[in-house]
A and B are shown apart, each in its own frame.
Chain A
Amino acid sequence: MTHSTTNVPGPDELREMSTEEAMLAGAEADGVHIVHRRQRFPIPGTRAERRAELGVSFMFGLAGLAGIAFIVVFVAWPYEYHLAGEGSQRFRFYTPLLGGLLGVMLLALGLGAVLWAKWLMPEEEVIQDRHDEPSREEDKLMIAATLSVGLADTGLQRRRMLFGTLLVAGGALATVPLVALVGSLIKKPGNKLAHTLWGQPADKYPNGVPVIYGDGRRVSPNDIQPGGLATVFPGVPGGVTSANTPTLLIRLRPGQTVRPRGGQAGFGWGDYVAFSKICTHAGCPASLYEQQTTRLLCPCHQSQFEVLQDAKPVFGPATRPLPKLPLGVEVVDGAQYFVATHDFFEPIGPAYWERP
């Protein structure tokens, strides 16, 4: 900020002035011209003035009262949660009361301050010089000279080797922290995106990987009504919590047949088919199954998959069908249980650069 120092009265002059005059002199010294200044109530003691003061004071008083009420509610009001019908339900008013009282306190304080300025402080119209003109030519010439002499003093232009090695050091300084940080964060994706926990070594699970519900029970072909479906997981450690394993097991209704994609003809079992639940678009669970239209809908971006065409995308932004899980059945103690005979044959979920 540039302050014009011309026309500033001396200390003795200022002492002789009233504070109002001295204030005006100070403003002028800052290039601030008070062109209009008028008390809101030039005659003190009018009813209008008292009313204005009362209004502002009411606001501040209200803020104080709301503050006290806030503290009382905060300390004394019960806030412990109870189910409806069990114990006092007064806790339900705790948050609205706190927010409301805090809001009243702050709003009253704020409105009070604004009304104070609008009703009681003098009205003024002030014009300030912008001082936006460019720097003086002298200043520009002198800074240019200062910079170029400084640069010459370093000798960077002349000492080529120094300049070169400094660049190397600067480059090192810029890259080392980046390499250290990014390098320590990097994890190699490898082939992880292409496999799920449904794929297990055959020696461990000779009959295939058990198909289970989220609570760990095994899934039997008798569990699901025709037209019904269930979300199932591989019965292996971590199988239920993994983000890649959720699979929809759908039992078709009588008469419905799936037109399989190439190579997936034998993946179903009886009237059961199983598809990865993870949408091939953005990875949300495509979990809305419309029995009537046999479509699976993803609620995130509305991709729709036709189950009878092996979950081929028929609407929305998804490009690829949901991968199909090859199903089989093993008999344990006379009861039939589903198993997955193999991992999904293609990567589940959203696509990526290296996806085959």
Chain B
Amino acid sequence: MTATREPETARKSSSRRGAPRTLVGKTGEFLDERLKVAGPSRGYLNKVFPDHWSFMMGEIALYSFIVLLLTGTFLTFFFDTSMGEVRYNGTYQPLQGVEMSRAYASTLNISFDVRGGLVIRQIHHWAALMFIAAMLIHMCRIFFTGAYRKPREFNWIIGILLIVLGVIEGFAGYSLPDDLLSGTGLRIADAIMLSIPVIGSWVSFLVFDGEFPGTAIVGRLYIAHVLLIPAILLALIGVHLALVVRQKHTQFPGPGRTESTVSGERVYPIYAAKAGGFFFIVFGVLAGLGGFAQINPIWLFGPYNPAQVTAGAQPDWYMAMLDGSTRLFPSWEIHGLFGRYTVPAIFWPTVVLPTILIGLALVYPFIEARMTKDRAKHHLLQRPRDVPVRTSLGAMALTFCIVLFISGGNDLVAAAFDISLNAMTWGGRVALVLLPPLAYVATYRICLGLQRHDREVLEHGIETGIIRRLPTGEFIEVHQPLGPVDDHGHGELTYSGASVPKRMNQLGTGTLRHARGFFRPVVEKPEIAEQLAELEQAEAAESADERRHQLTD
């Protein structure tokens, strides 16, 4: 690149035309002679990414995952997977002399005896919570804007697999310390495995290498947590991103945005600076959380003991839904199936329900395409209000999940508000059946209302807040049309799926572009002030010209 800046000298001093002279140029030449990268790399540097705040959710998930890899690698240097018993004699005095597994002791060691171990452990845990939260919100963004439609069904499926694997990965991770809380979680996981018809007890014995808890589970969870699942996650994330690059990002409709183009900023340098900066912002927030917000203080829980449990203990937040469904489901056990077999009640809310929910989500793009007979490719996003059925279905699903989530902590709610626990359980059962349909109806009406308001503003213009009294004595509010109007004063713009400005500020009337300096006017040097004035005049003339063109077109 720098070689082209001085073509004359380059040609003179070198035997070969255009041979690079600078270090950067020589490095480029070195690489290009071996890998032929000049053309493709230019293509990637020029790649265009659209900009919208909602597109950052997936980025947060990706960056949290990178933070997980970095901090997780640190933790592996100190964690011991053995479930062999030791007598603790580390620096945390309250637990000295207590019998515990090496896994638990080494987690105490990370928390108290490794310099900076606790902050890394807590960053790791916060990053895991953030990873799954960001993935779910990202999924909501994709769902409510219809970004999963053809040609992006593959990425929708991969995304759901990532969420499911992420939850399993998180559960495996927080089960590793072998503390009282996670041990109780594992015991419930064992009950869930046992509940599977026909093969349940075999599955449990396979996973735990015999009867729960055995001595193998932490080692097995460890290899799954640090190698197997992360490898699959990494591969899926790679495919996920490769597909985004290959298919190019979706974008919201707007002026100059079409199905056949993508508009925004190029990777190099602006998007790279923004996205790279955002990685450090996410990492910084996680580091701050890891430093200031205590999470999973396993030294307060104590080592796992099958005879003990803590009241009001909650799993990581993404497990709360499963916990809630388990609490709400009635005690419907099937006895004496085929004369002698049992299907435990816990099977339905923990195995069947998640399978149905995940299955529905996986096939949703195909169901929608079939129901709407929509076989076209879509690169422009839809505003949620413009597809009321989908938006309402989404609201219904979210309501269902939120009821389950709250029920996952219904004992805490009951304690905090002094409500009967049994009433919370029954309330959850009723809400789970009643609220989702209500959410559907309410969302549908809200969507229609928003649609009508968009059309109204396009037809009658924006409310200016200026009240005028007519000669007849009638008061009217002055409306600002958004574009050309017909003989009746009605706007001629049609709705195009893009956001409609609804306040005068959004038309730029509320900004004081030229008031520089907050406390006093900014005084520039005379020659700079002169140049500024010239530039402003030129730009004003240019934009006036443009407006005239637009109107005559």
Contact = CB atoms under 8 A, between A and B. Distances in A.
Interface residues of B, number: 118
A335 interface: no
A117 B201 contact: no
Contacts of B522: 47-48
Interface stretch (A121-129, A156-164, A218-226, A267-275): A121-129
Interface string B92-134: 1110000000000000000010011011001100000000000
A302 B421 contact: yes
A108 B283 CA distance: 11
A308 interface: no
Contacts of B247: 132
Contacts, number: 322
Nearest to A22: B4
Interface stretch (A93-101, A144-152, A172-180, A198-206): A93-101
A185 interface: yes
Given A107-B280, A107-B285, A125 B263 contact: yes
A153 to B, nearest CB: 30
A39 to B, nearest CB: 11
B91 interface: yes
What is the size category of the interface that chain A forms with chain B?
35 or more
Contacts of A130: 248, 259-262, 379
Contact of A243 (B187, B256, B283): B187
Contacts of A118: 274
A110 B280 contact: yes
Interface in B289-334: 289-292, 306-313, 323, 326-327, 329-333
A15 B18 contact: yes
Interface in B1-55: 1, 4-5, 7, 18, 39-40, 42-43, 46-48
B213 interface: yes
A315 to B, nearest CB: 6
Contacts of B118: 94-95
Contacts of A114: 273-274, 277-278, 281
Contact of B264 (A102, A126, A192, A214): A126
B266 interface: yes
Contacts of A214: 307
A58 interface: no
B345 interface: yes
Contact of A103 (B206, B260, B291): B291
A130 B48 CA distance: 10
Interface stretch (A135-143, A251-259, A282-290): A282-290
A302 B425 contact: yes
A186 B205 contact: yes
Interface string A237-278: 000011110100000000000000000000000000000011
Nearest to B120: A98
A127 B261 contact: yes
A316 B248 contact: no
Contacts of B5: 19
A95 B307 contact: no
B306 A285 contact: yes
Contacts of A315: 422, 425
Interface string B332-353: 1100000011111110000000
Interface of B: 1, 4-5, 7, 18, 39-40, 42-43, 46-48, 91-94, 112, 115-116, 118-119, 122-123, 151, 184, 187-188, 190-192, 194-202, 204-206, 209-213, 247-248, 256, 259-266, 269-271, 273-274, 276-292, 306-313, 323, 326-327, 329-333, 340-346, 377, 379, 410-411, 421-422, 425, 516, 522, 524-525, 528, 531-532, 535
23 contacts: A19-B1, A48-B516, A48-B522, A79-B116, A99-B122, A103-B286, A103-B287, A106-B284, A109-B284, A121-B269, A132-B259, A132-B379, A189-B202, A243-B187, A281-B331, A282-B192, A287-B309, A317-B327, A351-B195, A352-B201, A353-B198, A353-B342, A354-B341
Given A110-B276, A317-B326, A353-B343, 13 more contacts: A19-B4, A30-B43, A79-B116, A95-B290, A102-B291, A103-B284, A113-B274, A130-B248, A130-B259, A282-B187, A285-B306, A350-B190, A351-B195
